[in-house]
Amino acid sequence: MNLTDWIGATGVTILLVAYFLNLMNKVSQHDFSYILMNFLGAALACCASVLLKYVPFIILEAAWTFVSLIALIKNLSRSR
């Protein structure tokens, strides 16, 4: 595996862990940790997609990162 594979695999793993924890009712979709895992996972997967020059996944992961960032900001502003 090269660096791009490691970045992508790490991002996808983070996304899948967040999804699994949500399915098992360990974290809510509104929890800071869930939103943060989605943001980090999507950002890493987007990075790997950019390195691979694979436009469909760049768009998908960039959108996921952006939506997660908005949710993260809303979550932080609510907690203040």
- Segment 5-20 mean pLDDT: 98
Structural domain range at position 10? 3-69
36 within domain boundaries: yes
80 within domain boundaries: no
With bands split at pLDDT 50, 70 and 90, how would you rate the model's confidence at 17? very high
> Residue 63: its pLDDT value, please?
98
* C-alpha to C-alpha distances, 39 to 1, 2, 15, 49, 80, nearest whole angstrom: 24, 23, 9, 15, 20
pTM: 0.93
User: How many domains is the chain built from?
Assistant: 1
pLDDT of 79 over the 80 cut: no
- 71 vs 35: CA distance, rounded Å: 7
77 within domain boundaries: no
DSSP-derived letter for residue 54 is -
pLDDT of 53 over the 80 cut: yes
14 within domain boundaries: yes
pLDDT of 40 over the 90 cut: yes
